[in-house]
A and B are shown apart, each in its own frame.
Chain A
Amino acid sequence: MSLVASAGGADRRTGRWRGGAGRGATPYLLLVPGALVVATFLGSLVVAGSISLRDANGALSLVQYKRFFTDPFYLDFLWRSLRIAVYSTPITLLLGYPYAYVMARSAPPARLALTLILVIQLFTSDVVRAYALILVFGNNGIVNRALLGLGLIDRPIPLLFHEAGVALGLILVPLPFMIFPIYSVLKNIESNLETAAASLGANRSRTFLYVTLPLSLPGILAGVVLVFLFDLTAYVIPGMLGGGYFNMIANAVFEQAMAVLDKRFAAAISMSLLLVTLALLYLIHAIGARSRRAER
């Protein structure tokens, strides 16, 4: 379930019309409705981009961007979103990789159970999952009540409604986005390779470190990209688990657009976020391409 994979890339050997049907205008006609959908999407970006380039009187200007990139108050939303994504994503990886590994290597009943848990998570709204985390980690949540009941603390520890509380949500909620790409790579690794490493005398940790882990790097990369972008652009989790004390960049966009009603500034913040996202994806793509070249 690689969410960033290309939609095309059908098998070249099968699934293609032979004879004359493969040419001509037919494919373009079939794509017309899809093109309209894509055009709406691109149009929305163009229109948002164009209003972000206007000043308060509607004249062409970079003043909205200047405001965003020079006012520390607004720039901090971008900075803290990048910061929290940088340290939450590796923790999601550390929790997610073993899960994917166990899922790929366990017997069918355990595999099915692990898959079911994950798919239910994936299909449950972030709003519900973030709310559930408040019930567990909030001041009145089960963790604090258990600690109080055991007499280990005499007043609730504030686990939520600050940066670390938001990070907790950003570590746990996107786990399915990390696990599925790693799982789909791990389950396709020949188990013979691991058996071969073992028969040549490698113990389990050496086999993992020198055989399994390098082969699963594409899955790790896909998962890390998905989770990093999820964290960077999160709205619901900072909104609910931050309780207004730790807003991230997506919250700033919504507030400017819908509460302050400064759509031009909101558009400038969102375009800046889009540019950061695209720059990161380009960077990762370039690193991936370079490491593939180095392997050859």
Chain B
Amino acid sequence: MNRAGWLPWTITGFTVLCMVVPMIVIIGTSFNSGSEMAFPPVGFSLNWYANIFQREQFPRSFQFSLLLAVFSTLVSLTVGMLCAVALSRYRFFGKNAVAAAINSPLIVPQVVLGMGFLVLLAQIGIVSSLIGLALLHLVLTLPYTVRVLVASLARFPASLEEAAVIHGANRFVAFVRVTMPCIKPGIVSAAIFAFVTSFDNFTASQFLTWDRTTLPIEIYAYATLETDPTVCAISTLLIIMTTGIVVLAERWIGLETVTG
């Protein structure tokens, strides 16, 4: 007997199946030896994994997506930390408006963002996917990093930082040496959110593909043109990567920190 009752458990079991079975099927299908999308797989081979590397668009776009995600995460953490310190440690005029402005990209549909960036960047003459997507992903990730960092800073008592200042550290050193180590779980969690948001983004990013494309865009394009298990093989690698990140997050900081 458990505290939730049989009906919620039954529905939860069904929902779990709806989420887990597709993942299992996509992983299983990636090992087919022929080009049919059979599950359970017919034969066993790693041909489709080899095919990922023969199609140069996948390694190339993966590299670009990774570069973009790492860059967006680092910049978003830096900018987000400055905003979070201002929002959590100071009283100033217009504070609520600033918080609302930072969050506002979240309520704007992705196609509207993509469309807006396409037009804006074309008008000021930037037709570089690297610059365009870096700016777009910064806009998309900042609300998450600021929210997580504000929450961590609010929990951390400023008196510890003040104690360091009283003992002779300047404010910057006190922040870096005392506050930052203490809010490390928040920083890691903000970094994970920013990285995943950037790496997975498809809908807004597809407007800015002048000279480069990201991995989700290449997967989408391949999936709509070809029917062989290559997409299953890439998806399996991505699911392994995601699971790795999630398991590491659970080990380091606990999933409750991530889910809030």
Contacts and interface: CB of A to CB of B under 8 A. Distances in A.
Interface of A: 1-11, 14-18, 21-23, 26-28, 30-31, 33-34, 37-38, 40-45, 47-48, 51, 94-96, 98-99, 101-102, 105-107, 112, 114-129, 131-133, 135-136, 140, 142, 172, 175, 180, 183-184, 204, 229, 232-233, 235-236, 239-240, 249-250, 253-254, 257-258, 263, 266-267, 270-271, 273-274, 277-278, 281
B133 interface: no
A278 B139 contact: no
Interface string B1-17: 01111011101101110
B91 A16 contact: yes
B45 interface: no
A24 B158 CA distance: 18
Contacts of A34: 79-80, 82-83, 98, 102, 142, 146
A132 B111 contact: no
Interface of B: 2-5, 7-9, 11-12, 14-16, 18-23, 25-26, 29, 37, 39, 78-80, 82-83, 85-92, 95-96, 98-120, 123, 135, 138-139, 142-143, 146-147, 150, 153-158, 162, 171, 192, 196, 199-200, 202-203, 206-207, 216, 219-220, 223-224, 231-232, 235, 238-239, 242-243, 245-247, 249-250, 255, 258-260
Given A17-B90, A30-B85, A277-B109, A240 B223 contact: yes
A250 B119 CA distance: 16
B111 A235 contact: yes
Given A10-B150, A99-B15, A250-B109, A119 B246 contact: yes
A106 B13 CA distance: 13
A9 B207 CA distance: 34
B11 A7 contact: no
Contacts of A8: 87, 95-96, 98-99, 150
Given A23-B91, A44-B113, A123-B246, A132 B235 contact: yes
Contacts of A95: 11, 14-15, 18
Contacts of B79: 33-34, 37
For the residues of B in contact with A, the DSSP-based class is: helix
B103 to A, nearest CB: 5
A187 to B, nearest CB: 9
28 contacts: A9-B99, A15-B156, A15-B158, A31-B86, A37-B135, A41-B108, A42-B104, A44-B119, A47-B119, A98-B7, A101-B8, A102-B12, A114-B16, A116-B246, A116-B250, A118-B19, A118-B259, A119-B249, A120-B23, A123-B246, A125-B202, A128-B26, A131-B231, A142-B25, A172-B19, A175-B15, A235-B203, A277-B109
A8 B21 CA distance: 39
B100 A6 contact: yes
A142 B39 contact: yes
A185 to B, nearest CB: 12
B153 A10 contact: yes
Contacts of B146: 7, 34
Given A41-B105, A267-B119, A123 B147 contact: no
Contacts of A263: 115, 118-119
A20 B235 CA distance: 54
B103 A236 contact: no
B232 A135 contact: yes
B29 to A, nearest CB: 6
Given A37-B142, A123-B200, A7 B111 contact: no
B202 A235 contact: yes
Given A7-B150, A136-B25, A120 B15 contact: no
B242 A277 contact: no
B118 to A, nearest CB: 7
A125 B88 CA distance: 32
B64 to A, nearest CB: 15
Nearest to A273: B109
